[in-house]
A and B are shown apart, each in its own frame.
Chain A
């Protein structure tokens, strides 16, 4: 009877006690576990951050390396190869000058030109690819001594022009004279059409 009369107070106190007891046993008792969990969450967050940072750095490095390659390609196209308008006559003049310097003056020159359109892939397959360059070849024959021939070859190798000696043929004449048939080639950048597009974006 007396308990029933005070039941509201007792119920309130009981609820309060129960709530505190629940909190105590789930929170206070597992306090250390919670701290450990928090430390583990910090460790996990650290690892995730490191992982994200590494992935970001790798992506940035990859992008930067491609940009660097693109700039290198552009440099070769623009500065070393340039266009026919800008460099063809200079190259021809250089070949004639070097011939004269070696005392080997060709009687005639043959010229050829072809667009570079395809490139073999790593797997060996050939497919159409826009390289954006034109190959120009110059063939000529000269007569002279072996020393003169070697000098001309050496001068061509040291030339500041982008000249590639493609093929060499030698024929012995009477005495010490040789006939040297040379085919040299160079490359020119095609105008705008397939020039490498440079992405100037920076991270």
Chain B
């Protein structure tokens, strides 16, 4: 007798369990990763909010600083710096001349002149670097007046590099001589002159 195999199902039987298992597994894995990712993103955004705000603030401030620097440079470019430089150097030179003390110079010249040496003329030249060169004219009764005066200048701390220009025997006796010498002015004089236009 042949057994009867009755199939009463409305449609063919399919074993979907592996599919469902895979779907569940993938869903769980996806959910886990998604939650983790959302948490990570949230934490990143939240935790770095202050830092990102600081960065944005710094960048804004830097842009403002650069703008202000550009404004200053633009204003600087509008100044006539060449003329200002000329005027400043000229004024400093004049102030140095004005600050130059003839009284101190004459006092110091008195200390280097011998008994038989007389000062005839003094003419200073002011260099832009603040140094002063003197052209001095003397008369002396002695033939050694020039040498003696130069020796005394060498020994004096304020007079440097004395150099004779000429020496002439006078008709009535005696000699006249001219020499140049570097005169070291007091630092106060130069400092005062320089501070005015600085």
Contacts and interface: CB of A to CB of B under 8 A. Distances in A.
Contact of B40 (A13, A21, A28, A170): A28
B197 interface: yes
A49 B65 CA distance: 8
B102 A153 contact: yes
A92 interface: no
A150 B86 contact: no
Nearest to B71: A203
Given A17-B30, A60-B68, A69-B198, A168 B102 contact: yes
A131 B81 CA distance: 12
Chain B interface extent, by class = 35 or more
B19 interface: yes
A49 B58 contact: yes
A130 B137 CA distance: 35
B29 interface: yes
Chain A interface extent, by class = 35 or more
A16 B30 contact: yes
A119 B120 contact: no
A192 interface: no
The residue among B37, B101, B120 with the most chain A CB atoms within 10 A of its own CB is B37
Contact of A119 (B76, B89, B95, B137): B89
Nearest to A3: B19
B84 A73 contact: yes
Q: Is the interface of A mostly helix, strand, loop or mixed?
A: helix
A67 to B, nearest CB: 8
Interface in B61-94: 61-62, 65-66, 68-69, 71-73, 75-76, 78-84, 86-91, 94
Interface stretch (B1-9, B20-28, B163-171): B20-28
Interface stretch (A31-39, A83-91, A98-106): A31-39
The residue among B65, B87, B89 with the most chain A CB atoms within 10 A of its own CB is B87
A131 B19 contact: no
A136 interface: no
Interface of B: 14-16, 18-19, 22-23, 26-27, 29-30, 33-34, 36-37, 40-41, 44, 47-48, 51-52, 54-55, 58-59, 61-62, 65-66, 68-69, 71-73, 75-76, 78-84, 86-91, 94-95, 97-98, 100-103, 106, 118-124, 128, 137, 139, 196-198
